[in-house]
Structure 1
């Protein structure tokens, strides 16, 4: 895999966001765009990341923004704080909750009413009900808009750097898994690491520890041997499943999937499949088909913008060409990646335009309940540059290929 080029070289996040907002305000004949929520809300986080580059923000001088993957009591408290942001076509206004008796939207609505004529205010569909009431009481009419979600579907150079940083922590975690698996002994088919049977739960812990050491936050996004519906193994444990306690075995595919949050607040997305002491056969054929599908998708997205459905179909066709003809023998999934592990472009008809950063996954069933699964992050840049995958670990089935020399 090559180092992917920047999708939108020279354009800042605030340039991209303000251009999209101005167009939306003009088309919808609205006076402002408003978003309200905590910093756990990805729309708030996206706007605040963009505002780091803006010099025209009223109301933030006394309240530094909290971004990235910080932790600790003061960071957690600040992240729960309610934030109200507005853009009126010229400048931003930011208000923050300062006490239980005040609401930032009340102050924001009064500020907007003082500086502009009342009219339509655009907001995401998920704006809190009490915030909507404050805006209506100030004389504004509310209308929903997905303009920020659409803007987030393409990435700036700075966003790509943050995703690449997250992908580096994912790579570190997956390499730790390969290193551990390459060090195992085999006892009657069971994998043993340092004298103890190696379980999916133990392997996941090793991956997460390495991600943290590399500066990432794994959350609950690391999965060993996910089921076809991608349920995290942590949820299986809470439900009392024994699947994460049964030792891993030789000559069986072991899938490691992770989507950590990097130090810049953005996610990566990576999946690899390992086989310890395999004897070839169906998983080798599946591996050839799956890896070929990634080359085909990169060529497809270099040539033109495509829908999510079209790229998923191309991935599937490449895998099926290697003999996986049963209707349920192949799975593919394409989605955006960024402030959330899964975000637009996501729906079947969504277009993967220039500037998109997407996670592509191909999987083939090699046995009952056993899958070979690989996922990588691809960048579709502007201009004539080739779509390319972010740097990641080897796609080899051999765990030893992960051992850094």
Structure 2
């Protein structure tokens, strides 16, 4: 895998966002776009991160009115402080409060009413009910808009850099896990590390330690041996044959799946499968089919824009070409990745357009209790550049290969 090309040529996130918002305001004859919630809301995060690129707060004039400049707003951290942001086609307004006695949407609604008068304001469907009531009390009529979700489906160069940082942390974690597996001894087919059985829960903790050491945040997204529906097998309270307490075994596929958040708040997405002391057979054939599917998908997305359904079907066809004909033997998943581990393009008909960043996964059922899974993040750039995967660890089934690039 190689470093992915830049998807943009100088356009910033706020340029893209404001252009899309202005178009949406014009179409709906609306006076402003409004969003309210906590800092954990991805729409709030996206707007604030976009504004960091080119906005400043003129405190001498109005500490809540954001206008163009060279310095971004100060980071506010990942708190539960409440926020309300608005864009009126010309400038941004921002209100925030950590006090239960004041609501930022109320203050924002009054400022908008003074500035623009009554009219329609656009808001995401998930805007909190109390925030909507404050806007209505100020004389505004609300209309739903998914404009920010749509614009988030494509990424600027800076966003790709942040995803790449998260992917680097994911790579460090998976390599840490691979190193542990390659160092493990085998005792009656059980993997033993430093004199203790190596369990899924212990391996997950080692992967998370590698992520943290590389500056990432696991966010409870690391899973060892997920089931076919991607439910984790490593929760401490689980019981049964695939629980966190049962030691990992030689000769069986061991899946490590992670989606850490990087220091820039964006996520990565990485899955690798290891086999310690394997004897080839079905997993080797599955591995060839899965790795071939990633080459095919990259070529497909270089040639044209495609739907999520089309790319999932191409991944599946490439794997099935290696003899996996059972209807439930192959799984493929394609989705966007960014401020959320899974985000648009996501639905089957969503288009993977230029400047999209997507997580691709192919999986093959090896037997009734195990799967071989691999997932990587691919960038589809503008222009004639090839779609390419962000740099990650080796896709080899051999844990010792994790040191290879």
Q: State the TM-score, normalized to the length of structure 2.
A: 0.95
CA contact 1:335–1:358 (8 Å) conserved in 2: yes
Shift of 1:368: 1.1
Structure 2 matches for 1:211-230, cutoff 5 A? 211-230=211-230
What CA distance in whole angstroms lies between the structure 2 residues aligned with 1:312 and 1:261?
25
Secondary structure of the 2:365 match is strand
Whether the aligned pair in 1 keeps the contact of 2:271 and 2:373 (CA below 8 Å) is: yes
Report the Cα offset of residue 403 of structure 1.
Answer: 3.1
Q: Which residue in the other structure is 1:355 paired with? A: 355
1:59-98 to 2 correspondences below 5 Å: 59-60=63-64, 65-66=74-75, 75=77, 79-98=79-98
Task: Return the alpha-carbon distance in structure 2 between the equivalents of residues 166 and 260 of structure 1.
Answer: 6
Deviations 1:196-241 (CA, angstroms, capped at 9, x unpaired): 111000000000011001100001100001100111235x433445
Is the Cα–Cα contact under 8 Å of residues 5 and 381 in structure 1 kept in the other structure? Answer: yes
Query: Quick check: 1:220–1:232 contact (8 Å CA) kept in 2?
Result: no
Residues 1:161 and 1:200: Cα distance change in structure 2 (over 3 Å):
same
**Structure 1 gap segments, 5+ residues each:** 68-74
Q: Which moved more, 1:98-107 or 1:185-194?
A: 98-107
Q: Distance in 2 between matches of 1:271 and 1:322?
A: 21
Is 2:280 aligned against 1:271? no
SS at match of 2:364: strand
- Map of 1:238 onto structure 2: 237
Check 1:36–1:165 CA distance in 2 against 1; reply closer, same or farther (3 A cut): same
- 1:80 aligns to what SS in structure 2? coil
Provide the residue aligned with 1:261 in structure 2. Answer: 261
Name the structure 2 match of 1:394. Answer: 394
1:133-144 alignment, distance < 5 Å: 133-144=133-144
Report what 2:170 is aligned to.
170
Give, in angstroms, the shift of residue 375 of structure 1. 0.1
8 Å Cα contact 2:65-2:93 kept in structure 1: no
Length, aligned pairs only: 395
Higher relative contact order (CA 8 A, sep 6+): 1
CA contact (8 A) 2:65 2:94 kept: no
Tell me the distance in 2 between the aligned counterparts of 1:115 and 1:239: 56
- Corresponding residue for residue 50 of structure 1: 50
- Cα deviations by residue, 1:50-79 (Å, 9 ceiling, x for unpaired): 111233656358995436xxxxxxx45xx1
Equivalent positions of 1:4-403 (< 5 A) are 4-55=4-55, 59-60=63-64, 65-66=74-75, 75=77, 79-234=79-234, 236-240=235-239, 243-403=243-403
1:8: Cα distance to partner? 1.7
The answer on whether the counterparts of 1:56 and 1:91 sit within 8 Å (CA) in structure 2 is: no
CA contact (8 A) 2:393 2:404 kept: no
Contact 2:55 2:73 in 1 (8 A): no
CA distance in 2, matches of 1:6, 1:157: 6
Structure 1 residues 179 and 106: alpha-carbon distance in aligned structure 2, compared to 1, 3 A threshold: same
| Contact 1:260 1:267 (C-alpha < 8 Å) held by counterparts | yes
* SS of alignment partner, residue 25 of structure 1: helix
**Offset of residue 100 of structure 1:** 1.7
TM-superposed CA distance for 1:369, in Å, is: 1.6
1:98 deviates by 4.9
Superposition RMSD on alpha carbons, in Å? 1.6
The structural deviation recorded for 1:244 is 1.3
Alpha-carbon deviation of 1:2?
Answer: 1.0
- Within 2, Cα distance between the matches of 1:334 and 1:47? 25
Distance in 2 separating the partners of 1:60 and 1:396: 52
CA distance in 2, matches of 1:161, 1:304: 23
Unaligned runs of 5+ in 2: 67-71
TM-score, normalised relative to structure 1: 0.95
Instruction: Kindly provide the CA deviation profile for residues 134-177 of structure 1, in whole angstroms up to 9, marking residues without a partner as x.
Output: 11111110001000000000000000000000000000000011
Q: Please say if residues 172 and 210 of structure 2, whose CA atoms lie closer than 8 Å, have aligned partners that are also in contact.
A: yes
